[in-house]
Structure 1
Amino acid sequence: MATSRFWYELTSDEAAALPDNCVAVLPVAAIEQHGTHLPLGTDTFINRGILERTRGMLCETVPVVILPEQTVGASQEHSDYAGSLYHPAHKLMGQWTRVLEGAVRSGLKRLLVFNSHGGQTGLLAPVCLDLRVRYDVVAAYATWFDAGYPDGLFDEVEMCYAMHGGAVETSLMLHLRPDLVRMGKAVRAPYGAASIESATQQLSANPKEGRLGGLGWKSQDISMHGVDGDAASATAEKGRLLLDHIASRLADLLRDLAGGGLPLVKHPHPAFSPAER
């Protein structure tokens, strides 16, 4: 079998013959505003670009099949801006689950939900846990920005507070789809998430490092520009370096999931089948 293939390229017989250690990857993204300089499909293009680069890093011993990408995500926070599309969170989780169940019915036991939209990170773990409990499969999840950043590529404030459409996403898009980036409209938007933290003791748009309270925020609560961060400082070279960094981490994750040492099903109570629980 080739290192990685797309689900929609397979015949039914080929889907049934995928090896036991094949990892089924479900790309989940978003269609939403990214200011005036980036396209609505920014999260989708980034997800697609990372997976394509990762495919080139895998050897024949890491079988991967990529399920149909889910382009519309949980983007309700951007719904006041033209062009943004979204599914309600509970329906989106059900949609992801139905697709992954199809892979499980075809015999696959190793799943990865690969996410590129910050607004739906909280939905990933419940979906994977549900599949683990009901089908005794290995179900993992990953969001690309949890891979971190190469040293010195972006400044600390940008990495910490640029939540949407700033230098990071713009650099990735300048590398992946420069034809869709309007750099003449890129802005240096204030860090709205930082402003919330400077005005409060425990509230944050993205709680971490001791901040206790999170907010259910809309995009305009963070920035009226629809962008949070210094998009004007983005470059295609930064995007290339970041893409290689993320793809190498994702390749390692797929090796973990396809590896023979990964523990699979253990039944603490063998008398009960998954259907009886």
Structure 2
Amino acid sequence: MSEVQWNRLTAAELRALAAQDAVVLVPIGATEQHGPHLPTGVDDFLATEVCHRAATLAAEHTDVVVTPSIPTGLSEHHMPFGGTLTLSLPTLHALLRDLCRSVVRVGFSRILIANGHGGNMTALNALTTELTVELSTPIAFASYFGAGREVVRDTLESQSGLMHACEGETSMMMAAHPDLIRDEHLAEAHGPRITLPAESTEPLFMAVPFDRITRTGVAGDARVATAEKGERILAGCAAALADIIVRDPWAK
């Protein structure tokens, strides 16, 4: 079956996929400010794009289906800029529990939560453990930009990993959703470099509102973004995510 999107399939087709032990990808992103040049849905759009590409690649080896995305995550740190929607941690837990429980009740047993937002990472590590116990089903979690860390590093010229509304995210949006770029604001789309908190080596963590980090809402430099870089990152991250699926971590 060539269709991979859950909400474009019938109930009977989904039951058949469950009977064939298909993998279910659950994209989760965020709806939050992304500087003056990008829309608030960046993390949702990119997580969904990578998941659809990864599912198509992995489908050559195993059946895969992608649920509708969860477009809102943990974005409290972006609230000062406005335009941001955020969940509380208990709400995110409840939302993921109910969605994954629904997937399990259809008959699926291999679920991968595929994340596209740095602010979700630490919580999803913990919640994946909770969900595995609560649902008696092995739930896996991966951030697409973590899976594709090498291609991200090798493609970008001003940074080694994704930051926020940066060279990387802007390049991917140029490749996947060029109509949503506010080109007239690209010249002002730059800010300080940051390390995602979940990837930091600092011994201390404190919650810091993002407007104390960057005046523009951007971390990194979007001015050097190109669609060519974006396509390379999207393709590389999708291939890395597909490789995780094909390696079948649920069997271990």
Secondary structure of 1:122's aligned partner: helix
Report what 1:208 is aligned to. 200
**Post-superposition offset of 1:206:** 5.5
Separation (CA, whole Å) in 1 of partners of 2:181 and 2:19: 40
Report what 2:159 is aligned to. 158
Tell me, yes or no, if the aligned pair for 1:192 and 1:221 is still in contact at 8 Å.
no
**Post-superposition offset of 1:123:** 1.7
- How high is the TM-score relative to the length of structure 1? 0.82
Report the AA paired with residue 175 of structure 1: A
Q: 1:20 to 1:123 in 2, by over 3 A?
A: farther
Report the AA paired with residue 189 of structure 1: H
Report the AA paired with residue 193 of structure 1: I
**Post-superposition offset of 1:166:** 0.8
Separation (CA, whole Å) in 1 of partners of 2:150 and 2:179: 25
Secondary structure of 1:159's aligned partner: coil
State whether structure 2 residue 87 is matched by structure 1 residue 93. Answer: no
Determine which structure has more spread, i.e. the larger CA radius of gyration. 1
Report what 1:28 is aligned to. 28
Please give the per-residue CA displacement for 1:218-258, whole angstroms capped at 9, x wherever unaligned: 11121010001110000000001111110100110111238
Report what 1:191 is aligned to. 192
**Post-superposition offset of 1:205:** 5.0
Separation (CA, whole Å) in 2 of partners of 1:152 and 1:241: 10
Tell me, yes or no, if the aligned pair for 1:192 and 1:223 is still in contact at 8 Å.
no
Q: 1:177 to 1:120 in 2, by over 3 A?
A: same
CA RMSD of aligned residues (A): 2.2
**Post-superposition offset of 1:132:** 1.8
State whether structure 2 residue 218 is matched by structure 1 residue 227. Answer: yes
**Post-superposition offset of 1:192:** 5.2
Please give the per-residue CA displacement for 1:185-205, whole angstroms capped at 9, x wherever unaligned: 1235332537xxxxxxxxx95
Which consecutive segments of 4 or more residues in structure 1 shift more than 6 A?
none
Separation (CA, whole Å) in 1 of partners of 2:194 and 2:88: 24
Q: 1:23 to 1:3 in 2, by over 3 A?
A: farther
Please give the per-residue CA displacement for 1:21-74, whole angstroms capped at 9, x wherever unaligned: 311111111111101100111111111221222233233431112112111111
Report what 1:200 is aligned to. none
Separation (CA, whole Å) in 2 of partners of 1:7 and 1:208: 35
Please give the per-residue CA displacement for 1:163-208, whole angstroms capped at 9, x wherever unaligned: 21110000000101111112331235332537xxxxxxxxx95563
- How high is the TM-score relative to the length of structure 2? 0.89
Percent of aligned pairs sharing the same letter = 29
Structure showing the higher helix proportion among its residues: 2
Secondary structure of 2:58's aligned partner: coil
Report what 2:233 is aligned to. 242
Report what 1:74 is aligned to. 74
User: Bigger shift: 181-190 or 246-255?
Assistant: 181-190
Secondary structure of 1:250's aligned partner: helix
Separation (CA, whole Å) in 1 of partners of 2:82 and 2:134: 39
Q: 1:117 to 1:169 in 2, by over 3 A?
A: same
User: Bigger shift: 248-257 or 2-11?
Assistant: 2-11
Report the AA paired with residue 225 of structure 2: A
**Post-superposition offset of 1:15:** 2.8
Report the AA paired with residue 99 of structure 2: V
Residues paired across the two proteins, number:
248
Report what 1:268 is aligned to. none
Secondary structure of 1:43's aligned partner: helix
Separation (CA, whole Å) in 2 of partners of 1:255 and 1:192: 34
Separation (CA, whole Å) in 2 of partners of 1:258 and 1:158: 30
Tell me, yes or no, if the aligned pair for 2:33 and 2:39 is still in contact at 8 Å.
yes
